[in-house]
Structure 1
Amino acid sequence: MHLVPDGVMPPYPAAMTETRFHALPDDRIVAYRFTPGTGPALVFLPGYMSDMAGGKATAVFDAARARGRACLLLDYSGCGESPGLFEHGSLSLWKDEVLSLIAALELEQVVLVGSSMGGWLMLLVALAAPAKVTGLIGIAAAPDFTDWGVAQMDKALLADGETVWEDNPYGPEPTPTHPLFWADGQANLLLDAEIPIDCPVHLLHGQCDPDVPWELSLQLEQALRSGDVQVTLIKDGDHRLSRPEDIALLLGTVDAMLAALTGKA
């Protein structure tokens, strides 16, 4: 394992396609991949219990590398290749990990691409670093899902310190909601007030999404203060939006946003 102290990055080759590790001051370790390039750096934020090996993250990284653009992928602590326990994770901790990596890699401007829970996390990162975040792209963004996505009886169990387990349609193991994550999510709710983010935002959402209602992207569009918010609804799209045509739409959305930000078609 190659550990890199916080704020100290070794010289990297033309593209760091292999996994590296970044250490935070409290000894948390975050796995990441980075390819340098021009323009604002793309930072892909995976969803709940997802990682940087997913199809959308890999597609964004490979396209950025082919086009000579900077791109950062990461696994939150306790996820993917990052050590730690998932049950110790929270939005606030993972937000700090994203910000720490952005600072350590000296990325001056970033465009955050957030999938599902990553769409909530991208909003929290943008609120914490408005001078650095120049654009947001949400894929079935799920802000506040600890509130609207958790039954009232389960909230009572979580408030009592119990873990709630649900059927997982994407794998054999049930999906846990741990008390720490739920409580931190409830402390970071955003949709009940104006969200003071002013950068361009593009939200992609499938209208056959069984996990995150597509109407939530319309609600988020209304809550954002930015005057430049676009919502694209995919009539037959599911939650993951990982079909070839969905990936093509995502990459086209990335291209369009970067072109608008840099003035290059």
Structure 2
Amino acid sequence: MPQPSWLKTGAGRRIAHHRLTGNGPGIVFLGGFKSDMEGTKALWLEEWARARGRAFLRFDYSGHGRSSGSFTDGCIGYWAEDARAVLDALTEGPQILVGSSMGGWIALLLARARRERVAGMVGIAAAPDFTEDAMWAGFDEPDRRQIMQEGQIALPSEYGEPYIITRRLIEDGRDHLVLRSPLDLPFPVRFLQGTADNDVDKSVALRLLDHATGPDMRLTLVRGADHRFSDPDCLDLIGAALDEVSARADTG
């Protein structure tokens, strides 16, 4: 396995990444909550980009994968800062953002912060505002008291060890919500969502589509697809969406 390269951010965090040189607009993959850049979608997208001569970047947020820091010290604001740092330092010109789950939220924050650098977007089971609308809204009163008084709570995960959800994550998330204020996406956007997703309900995708504004935005619902969205058919759909966004971005 190739060793990653490293970027030290202005905040002092060391971000592990792999970068593929090629033509633009380049592709930046933004992974999900507690995932890393070695996942199925990230590696598949790298090969997709390589086959087309496209620049490609995948990286680990701080507290994820090979990057520095503890996961429980992180929050949406930190991870969005990491994404801005790699976009600014490691890419040139407009980029197409591919955001998976939490990465979809990060992509939307990037689109607000660096609009001139975004040529297009593909969201895969995008999970904007999940700390508030899924986590906090789903906690009962004892859970809320525990997280406020003790600073964290453990939630079971079907992907492995429990998720430690911190008070910092919840409170910081409220400073980065995107579905409560205007969200303009003035570039080609494709959202992909499975109907059998137990982590992000299809209603989230419909709400995002209804809330955001933009001239070229589409949502594809895939019956039976789960949150991973990484079986061969789903990967082909990601590739088709990216081909379409790339073609539209190439022609302006």
Does residue 1:159 correspond to 2:144, yes or no? no
Q: Identify the residue that residue 27 of structure 1 maps to in structure 2.
A: 12
Number of aligned residue pairs: 247
Instruction: Tell whether the 8 Å contact from 1:197 to 1:226 is kept in structure 2 after alignment.
Output: yes
Instruction: Tell whether the 8 Å contact from 1:117 to 1:142 is kept in structure 2 after alignment.
Output: yes
Q: 1:6-21 residue pairs with structure 2 within 5 A?
A: 18-21=3-6
Q: State the identity as a percent.
A: 36
Residue 258 of structure 1: which of 240, 246, 251 is its match? 246
Q: Distance in 1 between matches of 2:145 and 2:207?
A: 26
Helix, strand or coil for the counterpart of 1:203? strand
Q: Distance in 1 between matches of 2:89 and 2:122?
A: 23
Bigger relative CO (Cα 8 Å, ≥ 6 apart): 2
Q: Distance in 2 between matches of 1:128 and 1:37?
A: 25
Residues 59, 158 of structure 1: alpha-carbon distance in 2 compared, 3 angstrom cutoff: same
Helix, strand or coil for the counterpart of 2:92? coil
Residue 237 of structure 2: which of 226, 249, 256 is its match? 249
Q: 1:1-265 residue pairs with structure 2 within 5 A?
A: 18-150=3-135, 151-153=139-141, 154-171=143-160, 173-263=161-251
Unaligned runs of 5+ in 2: none
* Cα RMSD, aligned residues only: 1.5
Match for 1:244: what amino acid? P
Helix, strand or coil for the counterpart of 1:120? helix
Q: Distance in 1 between matches of 2:177 and 2:114?
A: 18
Unaligned runs of 5+ in 1: 1-16
Residues 247, 166 of structure 1: alpha-carbon distance in 2 compared, 3 angstrom cutoff: same
Helix, strand or coil for the counterpart of 1:101? helix
Residues 250, 106 of structure 1: alpha-carbon distance in 2 compared, 3 angstrom cutoff: closer
Q: Distance in 2 between matches of 1:195 and 1:56?
A: 26
TM-score normalised by length of structure 1: 0.89
Which consecutive segments of 4 or more residues in structure 1 shift more than 6 A?
none
TM-score normalised by length of structure 2: 0.93
> Structure 1 or 2: larger helix share?
2
